Amino acid sequence: MLLKAKWVLPIVQKPIEDGAVVIGGDKIKSVGKFEELKEKYPTEKIKDFGQAVLMPGFVDAHSHLEYSVFRGLCDDLSFSYWKMQLTRKSSKLSDEDWFYSAKLGALEAISSGITSIADSTNTGASLKAAKEAGLRGIIFHEVVGMDNSKVDETISEAKKFVSSWQAEASGTNLEIGVSPYSVYAVSPPLFQAVSHWAREEGLKVCFHLAGSLDECEFVKYGSSSLATLYLEQMGWSDFLWQPMGVSPVKYVEQWDALESGKVMVVHCVQVSDADIDILKKYDVSVVHCPKCSAKLGMGIAPLEKLLRQNLKVGMGMDSPASNNTLDMFDEMRVGLLLQRGFEEKVDGFSAEKFIGLATLGGAQVLGIDSEVGSLEKSKKADLIAVDISRTYQSPVSDPCSALVYTANQEDVIFTMVGGKVLYEKGKYSILDKKDVLSKAEPIRTKLKS
């Protein structure tokens, strides 16, 4: 198959005008000018997207697909109170509810041009939904617990889940990792135990870190609503929490949480230069979630400093519960504008830079950049087509500018993973949109009650 468009965006080289991509099986055979590829591959069937951009699929480096039905139900709250309300409402859902909520997220991801995810889940619903949908990525099993006396028991249970999930993911585009959820939900010995287990088994690790001021005060001083209301809500108020007197980053370093060699941390909004040095020391990857961080009043991550240290950085959208949409165009746009406002300058951050973070950058964070993240020969055929013919986009002279400053998720007209078409012009090839939406509405009613 020969895919043609006005622009092809390989990421690793400049945009190609009147370009094309040749697909063979589940891989990319060639990328270049349409006329040249047409001559080289005369028998290939041509699919012309017209005034569009062909580019790698987006990598959502941090998601919670199972929270999709919570969209709009926890708005206008600061982080800690948002977290507590989300936790409170979560108790109302059944296993089937979680599954359809995750399928709703998978529907949106595919139609928004997301082809790879790094999803953290407690229920396992995201694994089932992502597998059914044909998405690529990593599913992280969340581990929580503040009772030091139950560390061995918690690890034993986690190992059973991970082993079961690995069997379920066999033969798919998905792999399984482990997520010690956060510093306010995982005791120090449990953090250490998870890290040692991950290193022994070669598991990738993901956890939330240094996202909010409340989190920093919880670790350093043993204060904030996380230390009182949240611990009480979780039934952990009887467990003694000793203030550490250090930053969250320094704290997790002290408990070996960064040492497994395959660690990615999410948010990193409240980090100092010394914290960034620690992340660099352990070659930790960082997931930048600008919309979620801004909406929950967490702050603006020092992205320039993170990139200056040559840390691997990708873009994540967290979940519709905190972000409201899985629109990577909006994520790039907001992220870029926030950084320019924060740094009070326009140089250093460009539309092209953010597209790189949302594609190849995310693939590097997940450790799958040898397979996806750019349009290159022999990489997996994970790509999307984005319509740029709308009145609010025309005329287009720079496809990167059009994508970041004008496009949105509704402009995605084609999504392919591993050479398989998952979505085209409003139609899904695998998921049943009508069925998922019909099941989602009663779940919403249950959450509102």
Does residue 445 sit within a domain? Answer: no
Split into its structural domains, the chain has a count of 2
Residue 178 and residue 67 share a domain: yes
Q: What is the pLDDT of residue 239?
A: 82
Rounded Cα distance, 142 and 151, in Å:
14
Residue 424 and residue 360 share a domain: no
Does residue 447 sit within a domain? Answer: no
User: Among 334, 366, 398, which residue terminates a domain?
Assistant: 366
Residue 212 and residue 114 share a domain: yes
Residue 226 and residue 113 share a domain: yes
Does residue 294 sit within a domain? Answer: yes
Beta strand pairing call for 136-143 and 46-48 = unpaired
Tokens 């699929």 — which residue?
57
Domain coverage including residue 399: 2-56+381-431
Does residue 302 sit within a domain? Answer: yes
307: CATH: 3.20.20.140
Does residue 283 sit within a domain? Answer: yes
Residue 14 and residue 114 share a domain: no
Residue 389 and residue 337 share a domain: no
**CB atoms inside a 10 Å sphere around CB 176:** 21
Residue 249 and residue 183 share a domain: yes
**Could you write out the three-class secondary structure of the chain?**
CEEEEEEECCCCCCCEEEEEEEEECCEEEEEEEHHHHHHHCCCCCEEECCCEEEEECEEEEEECHHHHHHCCCCCCCCHHHHHHHHHHHHCCCCHHHHHHHHHHHHHHHHHCCEEEEEEEECCCHHHHHHHHHCCEEEEEEEECECCHHHHHHHHHHHHHHHHHHHHHHCCCCEEEEEEECCCCCECHHHHHHHHHHHHHHCCCEEEEECCCHHHHHHHHHCCCCHHHHHHHHCCCCCCCCCCCCCCHHHHHHHCCCCCCCCEEEEECCCCCHHHHHHHHHCCCEEEECHHHHHHCCCCCCCHHHHHHCCCCEEECCECCCCCCCCCHHHHHHHHHHHHHHHHCCCCCCCHHHHHHHHHHHHHHHHCCCCCCCCCCCCCECCEEEEECCCCCCCCCCCHHHHHHHCCCHHHEEEEEECCEEEEECCEECCCCHHHHHHHHHHHHHHHHC
Q: Are 116 and 362 in contact (CB under 8 A)?
A: yes
Report yes or no on whether pTM surpasses 0.85: yes
Residue 280 and residue 252 share a domain: yes
User: Among 343, 366, 389, which residue terminates a domain?
Assistant: 366
User: Among 318, 339, 366, which residue terminates a domain?
Assistant: 366
Does residue 75 sit within a domain? Answer: yes
Residue 422 and residue 290 share a domain: no
Residue 119 and residue 19 share a domain: no
Q: Are 319 and 68 in contact (CB under 8 A)?
A: yes
Residue 26 and residue 105 share a domain: no
Does residue 248 sit within a domain? Answer: yes
24: CATH: 2.30.40.10
Rounded Cα distance, 1 and 37, in Å:
11
Q: What is the pLDDT of residue 242?
A: 84
One digit per residue, pLDDT tens: the chain, 449 residues?
999 999 999 999 999 999 999 999 999 999 999 999 999 999 999 999 999 999 999 999 999 999 999 999 999 999 999 999 999 999 999 999 999 999 999 999 999 999 999 999 999 999 999 999 999 999 999 999 999 999 999 999 999 999 999 999 999 999 999 999 999 999 999 999 999 999 999 999 999 999 999 999 999 999 899 999 999 999 998 887 888 999 999 999 999 999 988 999 999 999 999 999 999 999 999 999 999 999 999 999 999 999 999 999 999 999 999 999 999 999 999 999 999 999 999 998 999 999 999 999 999 999 999 999 999 999 999 999 999 999 999 999 999 999 999 999 999 999 999 999 999 999 999 999 999 999 999 999 999 87
| Longest Cα separation, the chain | 73
Residue 299 and residue 241 share a domain: yes
Does residue 94 sit within a domain? Answer: yes
